Structure 1
Amino acid sequence: MARIRTIKPEFFKHEGIFDAEHATGLPLRLAFAGLWTQCDREGRFAWRPRQLKVDILPYDDVDFSRVLDALATRGFIVKYASNGREYGCIPSWHRHQVINNRERDSEIPEPTEIIEVSDASSTRDARVGHAGKAEGKGKEGKGTIEPNGSLSETSSDEVQKPRKRESYPDDFEAFWESYPRTPNMSKKEAYDAWKKLGPADRENCSRAVPGYVAFLKSKPDLEIIHACRFISKRRFDGYAEIGGAVVTAVDEKTWRSRLRYGRRLGKWSIADWGPLPGAAGCRAPGHLLEPGDGNGWTEMERAA
């Protein structure tokens, strides 16, 4: 899927990529800029020359394998392998591209085995060289262009260093795997909110997911709350698992009505509404509670 990316005016004045284009006779400038739109949020793309040509240069009579090889041998891109498949990535991607927070996480693996590419600018037969580990071995790159068009003199030794992916603790990974997905949900944003919770709230948040999932199934037209908002806005306070049975969540409007009733009359239906507000296991959303909630309320056996 193509994406909108950033390009700077300096791109059009870059001598390095112009010289490479002139020497190879290949449309490297347009191809390289087009390649950015095929990258995911980590600057990675599947190394599929035929498909990339259809998406980037559909009307040009050119071998896109030669285009990719020419860009790789000059340090503009890196070719790598993972789990038996070939991918590419653009160096210095994160220093210059502004990524929309709603863009989905990368599904392409990180570089693990760099593939050294031979110069295919002089012959169609010279395509792929040998595979090697990314341990500082490689040719010097000529005037590497950054993803936004700015200039840098970068060796392929530096280019081949993969960006370290952020790791997450087991408790958050368990929450993330169980939480229902939305197309633009950001794992990093969710984790930033998660880090602000205490140990008890993290446990309650994870335990609330089954109840929230059950609630969504009962209301299929309801929009899924983004994970970061579910955590930061304490939406998990309205959902719980008690005694192994999932308790269906109640919408905020109903909880507001119940809390108004309890504050006005000093009564609360434990049998129907669960523990008193502020007490352990309370199902009312925490952001709706007030400091005095729970004080002096009696326990009704029936709902009002």
Structure 2
Amino acid sequence: MARIRSVHPGLSTDEAYMAMSAYAKAAWPTLWTECDDSGIFEWKPLVLKARLLPADAVDFETIMEEWVRLGAVRKLTLDGRSYGAVRNFCRFQRPKKPNYRDLLPDEFRTYVGLKPAEFGTSSELSPQMEKEREKEEEREERTPVVESPPRAKTYAFAARHIRLNDDDFKRWSESFPHLELRAELESLDAWAGEQGKNWFKAVSGALAKRERLAADAARRSRDGPSQALDPRLA
């Protein structure tokens, strides 16, 4: 009889799952509904195909062999009948009143993720263990997920609209050596806000223009006033 099972969010990044073919991926979570509480299912490819992929023309035995090859399933024999065991099934499925198989070999108990405390001969958990499991599930449901607050960004220059990180500020300082960069940025800040998303490119262009003017002024100051040519020598 099919059972309700849960899907862990980490399934999509499981290495075996990512390596599965499309049909194997599609049938994988629904296979769990055919497993008992120990993660064991009957090895009947034809029956499983009819239950899991009834509308698809696929060879289900090939899919099951693929699961075995990827290490997601192991085949075993119990009382002369063939079964499959799902890796780590019991780590992620938590039925409130589980019925675990007593005669499952130890190596397969470990494979399906049964804990040592669950290796006992009883097919059900003791009332005390059952209460502890229910309490654990309630704690997990009630415990809020606390996310770390995002780290505040640090800037070498920060005004209302213009904000530069260390690399950009250093690059502009080297590109515009004739400017007092902080003072220029402060004077351009309101104008930068009018440029919207293009403020970075616009401010860079404005600084480049001011740099050329400042460089020309510095060169004239260094060279002194130009001497007018004597008209007689022209």
Which of the five TM-score ranges fits, normalised by the shorter chain? Answer: 0.3 to 0.5
Could you state the TM-score of these two structures normalised by the residue count of structure 2?
0.46
From the two aligned structures, give the one with the greater helix fraction. Answer: 2
TM-score (norm: length of structure 1): 0.36
